[in-house]
Amino acid sequence: MQETWMSEPPAGRYFELSTDQVAARERPDFWRQTVLNRSDVEFRTDAAARGFSASAWGYIGEDAELRYGRLEAGTLHRRAAHCRQDGGGEILLSAIVSTNDQVRYRDSSNTFAVPAGRFLVTDMSVPFALEMGRFRSINFRLPRAAVVRAVGTSPARLRGRLLPATPLTALLFEQMVRFADALPEMDDEARQVAMDVTADFALGVLRVETQSAAWEDGAHPAGLWPAAQRFIERNLERVDLGPAVLARALRCSRSQLYRLFASHDTAVMDHIRDRRLARSREMLSDPSCRLPVAEIALLCGMDNPSAFSRGFRQRYGCSPGELRRRVKPRPQGVTAGRA
Of 281 and 226, the one with more pLDDT: 281
The pTM (predicted TM-score) of the whole model is 0.61
Chain centroid to CA 37: how far? 27
pLDDT tens profile 25-48:
888 888 888 878 778 888 876 555
Q: Say if domain 13-213 classifies as CATH 2.60.120.10.
A: yes
Q: Which residues contact 139 (CB under 8 A, 6 or more apart)?
A: 1, 2, 3, 58, 65, 66, 67, 68, 69, 92, 93, 94
First to last CA, the chain: 73
Strand partners, 70: 55, 136
Given this chain, do its domains 13-213 and 221-326 carry the same CATH topology?
Answer: no
Distance between CA 324 and CA 281 in Å, rounded? Answer: 9
3-state secondary structure of 106: strand
Q: Which residues contact 177 (CB under 8 A, 6 or more apart)?
A: 68, 97, 138
Distance between CA 88 and CA 205 in Å, rounded? Answer: 22
Domain boundaries, the chain: 13-213, 221-326
Q: What percent of the chain has pLDDT over 70?
A: 88
Which CATH topology does 221-326 take? Arc Repressor Mutant, subunit A (1.10.10)
**So what's the pLDDT on residue 335?**
45
Query: Does residue 44 contact residue 11 with C-beta atoms inside 8 Å?
Result: no
Chain centroid to CA 149: how far? 23
pLDDT tens profile 74-105:
888 899 998 888 888 899 999 999 988 888 89
- Segments of 210-261 assigned E as strands: none
Strand partners, 143: 90
pLDDT tens profile 163-193:
888 889 999 999 999 999 999 999 999 999 9
Query: Does residue 48 contact residue 25 with C-beta atoms inside 8 Å?
Result: yes
**So what's the pLDDT on residue 330?**
52
Query: Does residue 112 contact residue 104 with C-beta atoms inside 8 Å?
Result: yes
